[in-house]
């Protein structure tokens, strides 16, 4: 089973260091039918983390 942890000011996934690169999506400003498209676009741009907030 994959593991994710933070130690020594670094993030690790399966004991390998990983750099989090985040892009923001304000889901409440996007029509739900476009959510998958927007997430796929983030991935295509090289992001591996999604940042959002609850209004």
Query: What are the tens digits of pLDDT across the range 23-54?
Result: 999 999 999 999 999 999 999 999 999 999 88
Query: What are the tens digits of pLDDT across the range 8-19?
Result: 788 888 888 989
d(CA 19, CA 13): 10
DSSP states along the chain: ---EEEETTEEEETTEEE---EEE--GGGS-GGGHHHHHHHHHHTT--EEE----
Please give the model's pTM, rounded to 2 decimal places: 0.72
CB 47 within 8 A of CB 20: no
């Amino acid at each position: 089973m994959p593991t994710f942890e933070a130690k020594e000011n670094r993030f690790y996934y399966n004991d390998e260091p990983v750099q989090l690169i985040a892009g923001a999506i304000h889901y409440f400003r996007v029509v739900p039918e476009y959510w998958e498209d927007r997430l796929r676009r983030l991935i295509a741009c090289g992001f591996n983390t999604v940042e959002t907030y609850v209004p």
